[in-house]
């Protein structure tokens, strides 16, 4: 057969195969479209086509695995805020106290802080709307807005009955994913344990675009002042893989494997390695706190430091989310698909992901050794959360009466944090004040 004829036959066969595959996809797409049309026409009550479309998207994606899903247009902007860690707003953390919207802490340097809002202020109204019965989502929706626009906030300061209104101009606000052990009275983070300033403490609430630089800044603030470090990942559900990788890079040698990812084809493995010499002194003892809500990027950081013996894990076994989700924008960037495309693997080659049928004996997540495991009941976990929230709000002003919660938690000891402190102290030199009599000081020189 002439080469020309053979080429034509091969091209025809290829086009036929492509058309067949495309026809299969189009067949299901047409059935889905037909179903939406039938439901819209015959359902007992009128129903919007958009609602049916979103229901179909959710069903199609959530049926794949728990982490794939459809992000609606109204949720996509909030999703981007979580990753970019920036939004237009006034700069306050708010919560519900006695069923009223309350300022937990204004962020230093933000419009709210400069205007005079302080921890404990009750927000009575936003742009003339009474906040009684407001959810946190309602309040956030009203206080956020375009940079340069003004929002009118009516508050009652603690100990002052007469309310006051503040017109506040919105600015670019950075979400704080890197937090200290407590705040000072002027709302600045303090990155050292109150009872032992030799121990540094950094809490990561997520991994976003600014987490790495903020983490590095907090380390530099403590440079030369600490002899041990606690990284608290409790409740951290993850975020950007790149941020977790960059923080791992600060602790291990260049060229060491941080994490590997595998896609549909297990032979196509991508290995991520450290690129820089360690930023943190290799002799500095480190403890990482995890709990059952530590997931994804948190587990990558904890697993990496555990596998290289660079940190001791304390707390409870982590969640076990070892899958990678790519965010694929659709509808011209108005909404998106969150689709699982890869799995994470530890430097040791062990699995991170906890499958549906996994048992406690299987390899998944990040687990402390038995002597460093501190399990909490749901009631104890709630108390730790409230204690941590109280420590992270602005310090109490002199002469100000203590709240009921402050009185209740004044002498509370976080059992997991205390175990982390005790673990570090075993590796740190004793304080000079604790030296046995007759022992030379240079034997306890700082490393």
In a domain, 217, yes or no: yes
Tell me, yes or no, whether 395 and 308 share the same domain: yes
Domain edge (last residue) among 174, 208, 234 = 174
Instruction: Output the domain CATH number for residue 120.
Output: 2.30.42.10
**How many structural domains is the chain composed of?**
3
How far is C-alpha 3 from the chain's CA centre?
Answer: 61
Tell me, yes or no, whether 107 and 170 share the same domain: yes
Domain edge (last residue) among 174, 205, 234 = 174
Alpha-carbon separation of residue 108 from 90, 143, 158 (angstroms): 11, 17, 19
Instruction: Output the domain CATH number for residue 220.
Output: 3.90.226.10
Q: How many helices (H) and strands (E) does the chain have?
A: 11, 21
Cα–Cα distance measured from residue 67 to residue 143, given in angstroms and rounded to the nearest whole number: 30
Cα–Cα distance measured from residue 78 to residue 75, given in angstroms and rounded to the nearest whole number: 5
User: Helix 49-62 to helix 3-42 angle, to the nearest 10 degrees?
Assistant: 120
In a domain, 53, yes or no: no
Tell me, yes or no, whether 132 and 273 share the same domain: no
List, for residues 34-78, the tens digit of each pLDDT value: 888 888 889 999 988 888 888 888 898 999 998 999 999 888 877
Tokens for 80? 């981007």
Tell me, yes or no, whether 16 and 93 share the same domain: no
In a domain, 224, yes or no: yes
In a domain, 16, yes or no: yes
Tell me, yes or no, whether 250 and 209 share the same domain: yes
Tell me, yes or no, whether 147 and 221 share the same domain: no
Tell me, yes or no, whether 93 and 140 share the same domain: yes
In a domain, 13, yes or no: yes
- List, as one string, the DSSP characters of 331-360: GGGTEEEEEEEEEEE-TTS-B----TT--T
Domain edge (last residue) among 107, 141, 174 = 174
In a domain, 165, yes or no: yes
Tell me, yes or no, whether 357 and 219 share the same domain: yes
What is the residue range of 360's domain? 178-432
Task: From first to last of the 447 residues of the chain, give the pLDDT tens digit.
Answer: 454 443 334 444 444 444 444 445 567 778 888 888 888 889 999 988 888 888 888 898 999 998 999 999 888 877 877 777 678 899 888 888 777 898 887 877 889 988 988 878 899 999 999 999 888 888 888 998 999 999 999 999 877 889 999 999 999 888 889 999 998 877 789 999 999 999 999 999 999 999 999 999 999 989 889 999 999 999 999 999 999 999 999 999 999 999 999 988 877 789 999 999 999 999 999 999 999 999 999 999 999 999 999 999 999 999 999 998 888 999 888 999 999 999 989 999 998 999 989 999 999 999 999 999 999 999 999 999 889 888 887 554 445 566 777 778 888 999 999 999 999 999 988 865 554 443 333 322 322
Tell me, yes or no, whether 93 and 187 share the same domain: no
Phi, psi of 5 (to 5 degrees): -65, -40
In a domain, 422, yes or no: yes
Beta-strand pair 228-232/286-290: parallel
Kindly report whether the global pTM for this prediction surpasses the value 0.85: no
Tell me, yes or no, whether 278 and 420 share the same domain: yes
- CB-facing half-sphere around the CA of 379: CA atoms within 13 A: 0
Tell me, yes or no, whether 228 and 272 share the same domain: yes
Query: Which stretches within 287-398 are classed as H helix?
Result: 297-307, 378-391
Tell me, yes or no, whether 354 and 422 share the same domain: yes
In a domain, 280, yes or no: yes
Catalytic (active-site) positions: 296, 307, 321
């Amino acid at each position: 057969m002439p080469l020309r004829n053979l080429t034509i036959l091969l091209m025809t066969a290829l086009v036929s195969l492509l058309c067949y595959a495309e026809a299969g996809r189009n067949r299901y797409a047409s059935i889905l479209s037909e179903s939406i049309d039938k439901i819209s026409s015959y359902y007992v009550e009128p129903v919007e086509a958009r609602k049916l479309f979103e229901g179909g998207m959710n069903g199609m994606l959530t049926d794949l695995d728990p982490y794939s899903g459809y992000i609606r247009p109204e949720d996509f902007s909030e999703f981007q805020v979580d990753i970019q860690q920036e939004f237009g707003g006034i700069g306050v953390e708010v919560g519900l106290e006695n069923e009223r919207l309350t300022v937990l802490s204004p962020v230093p340097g933000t419009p709210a802080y400069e205007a005079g809002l302080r921890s404990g202020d009750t927000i009575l109204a936003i742009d003339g709307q009474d906040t009684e019965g407001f959810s946190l989502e309602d309040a956030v929706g009203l206080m956020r807005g375009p940079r340069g626009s003004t929002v009118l906030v009516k508050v009652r300061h603690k100990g002052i009955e007469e309310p006051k209104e503040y017109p506040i101009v919105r600015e670019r606000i950075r979400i704080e994913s890197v937090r200290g052990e407590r705040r000072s009275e002027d709302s600045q983070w303090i990155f050292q344990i109150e009872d032992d300033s030799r121990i540094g403490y950094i809490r990561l609430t997520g991994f976003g675009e600014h987490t790495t630089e903020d983490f590095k800044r907090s380390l530099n603030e403590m440079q030369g002042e600490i002899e041990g470090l606690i990284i608290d990942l409790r409740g951290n559900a993850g975020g950007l893989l790149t941020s977790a990788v960059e923080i791992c890079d600060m602790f291990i040698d260049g060229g060491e494997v941080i994490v590997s990812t595998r896609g549909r084809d297990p032979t196509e493995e991508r290995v991520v390695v450290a690129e820089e010499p360690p930023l943190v002194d290799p002799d500095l003892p480190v403890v990482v706190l995890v709990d059952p809500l530590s997931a994804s990027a948190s587990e990558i950081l904890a697993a990496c430091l555990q596998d290289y013996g660079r940190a001791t894990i304390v707390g409870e076994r982590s969640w076990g989310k070892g899958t990678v989700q790519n965010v694929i924008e659709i509808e011209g960037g108005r909404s998106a698909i969150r689709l699982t495309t890869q799995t994470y693997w530890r430097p040791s080659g062990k699995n991170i992901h906890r499958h549906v049928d996994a048992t406690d004996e299987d390899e998944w997540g990040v687990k402390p050794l038995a002597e460093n495991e501190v399990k909490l009941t749901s009631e104890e976990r709630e108390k730790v959360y409230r204690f941590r929230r109280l420590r992270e709000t602005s310090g109490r002003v002199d002469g100000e009466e203590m709240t009921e919660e402050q009185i209740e938690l004044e002498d509370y000891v976080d059992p997991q944090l205390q175990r982390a402190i005790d673990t570090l102290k075993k590796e740190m030199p004793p304080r000079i004040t604790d030296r046995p009599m007759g022992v030379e000081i240079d034997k306890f020189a700082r490393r």
